[in-house]
Structure 1
Amino acid sequence: MIDMAGMGPAPNPNSRRRNATLPMTLLPAAGRPGDAPRWPLVDDVALTARRDAARRQADELELQLTEPELTGRRRTALQKKHDAAVTEANILTKKVEAQASVEAELWAELWRLPQAVMWERHGWVREVAQYVRWKVAAELGDLDASKESRMLADRLGLNPLAMLRLRWEVSSDEVAEARAARPARTGRDVRSRLRAVGDE
């Protein structure tokens, strides 16, 4: 190795730069083909338990209303409690039904995205399912679920900044771009070509 006075050793051309930029991973613009994986999570235990508890309370209050000695203000107060319990049970029943339906729809949509190629490669099936669970709960009005869904969205690359951090990039759809760049044939162009062929 040549070491000239006042100069350090020559740089090693084979050494890797510490600040070298990682290459981007290109994702297919058409998204991930095929069906979504099987849904891996059980039903929302907390929401189902709340629904069942509200139903039991409504049934118990309805039974108390059948007591013949219950009259006047006591009966009115108990009737109000019963009506409130029935309303709560109905709301929670609708939430359970809506959650299952929307989860299935969102699950299928997500696995058609370009990012789904990487999720499948890394085996992030349960992570995507957890995002779906939190996202749907947020749409049903759960503020805490909204925070959780935003954090999982970042980890899964579901926004441009998160994709940049993960070094993911959706490849350009060359077929679509070629079609968009190709001038459309007008009726006049077609007629001109037909006349030219007829004159030959």
Structure 2
Amino acid sequence: MGGMGPAPKPDGTRRRRNATVAMTPLPHEGRKGRTPKWPLPDDVVLTARRDLAQRKADDLELALLEPDLKGRAKVAAEKKADAAREAALILTKQLEAQQQTEGALWRELWKTPQAVMWEQLRWTREVAQYVRWKSRAEVGDLDAAKEARQLGDRLGLTPLSLLRLRWKISDPDEGSAVAPRARRRSTSGGRRQRPDDPRATLHVVE
């Protein structure tokens, strides 16, 4: 009949407005077990820059050995060699620092509650990519900081992304908060109740 609107859905297909969304609990104590093997190679870009700088420094060092190099030309060549050595040393230290940061952060992340799900979903490389961007961000790379923030959201490393992934870190006090109250109910006048005492079935209404 016109104007009556669509037929109501069957009771079995209706969704309750106040229905709660199932959440996947994650252990508060974090993931246990060995840390997965690091899956990525060394930073290709930074390694290439370091190698080129070192090669340039070596070439300038050889140029200083030329017997005809004297006077102002030699002074200028020495300055160039010093600058090249400094650039190569800085890039070497940056690469070493990045590798150390990556290793520490990698081990730390695989002890988190979220790592339990990463392992099940086989997100090893995704986590490694986050570690790489995050390590770059910690030395001041703003573009890397943006990438790390986006990957961190996908991995559930923020409260909002945890909610979006339907993951919930378990409360460490769950299951133990009832214990003190239960112990109080199990005593009467400082005396322990017998197991067959009918008063043991009584509960205080709070």
How would you bin the TM-score normalised by the shorter chain?
0.7 to 0.9
Relative to structure 1, the CA distance from residue 143 to residue 59 in structure 2 (aligned partners, 3 Å threshold; closer, same or farther) is same
Q: Does 1:117 align with 2:104?
A: no
Which residue of the partner structure matches residue 15 of structure 1? 13
Moved over 6 A (4+): none
> With structure 2 as the length reference, what TM-score do the two structures score?
0.77
Q: Does 1:59 align with 2:58?
A: yes
SS at match of 2:45: helix
Q: CA deviation at 1:37?
A: 0.9
User: Quick one: distance in 1 between partners of 2:42 and 2:156?
Assistant: 26
- CA deviations on 1:24-72 (whole Å, 9 max, x unpaired) are 2111101111111111111111111111111110010011111122222
Moved more, 115-124 or 13-22: 13-22
User: Quick one: distance in 1 between partners of 2:116 and 2:165?
Assistant: 13
Structure 1, gaps ≥5 residues long: 183-200
How many pairs does the alignment contain?
177
Q: CA deviation at 1:143?
A: 2.2
Which residue of the partner structure matches residue 158 of structure 2? 159
User: Quick one: distance in 2 between partners of 1:58 and 1:10?
Assistant: 80
User: Quick one: distance in 2 between partners of 1:176 and 1:91?
Assistant: 53
Which residue of the partner structure matches residue 106 of structure 2? 107
Decide which structure has greater helix share. 1
Contact 1:35 1:108 in 2 (8 A): no
User: Quick one: distance in 1 between partners of 2:115 and 2:72?
Assistant: 60
Q: How does 1:1-200 map to 2 (within 5 A)?
A: 9-17=7-15, 22-174=21-173, 178=177
Q: CA deviation at 1:99?
A: 1.6
- CA deviations on 1:2-40 (whole Å, 9 max, x unpaired) are x9x957634311115397653221111011111111111
User: Quick one: distance in 1 between partners of 2:152 and 2:167?
Assistant: 14
Q: Could you tell me which amino acid in structure 2 is paired with residue 44 of structure 1? A: D
Relative to structure 1, the CA distance from residue 177 to residue 76 in structure 2 (aligned partners, 3 Å threshold; closer, same or farther) is farther
Relative to structure 1, the CA distance from residue 73 to residue 28 in structure 2 (aligned partners, 3 Å threshold; closer, same or farther) is same
> With structure 1 as the length reference, what TM-score do the two structures score?
0.79
- CA deviations on 1:138-187 (whole Å, 9 max, x unpaired) are 11232221111111111111111111211211110127965xx89xxxxx
Percentage of identical aligned residues:
58
User: Quick one: distance in 2 between partners of 1:158 and 1:85?
Assistant: 41
RMSD: 2.5
User: Quick one: distance in 2 between partners of 1:7 and 1:76?
Assistant: 92
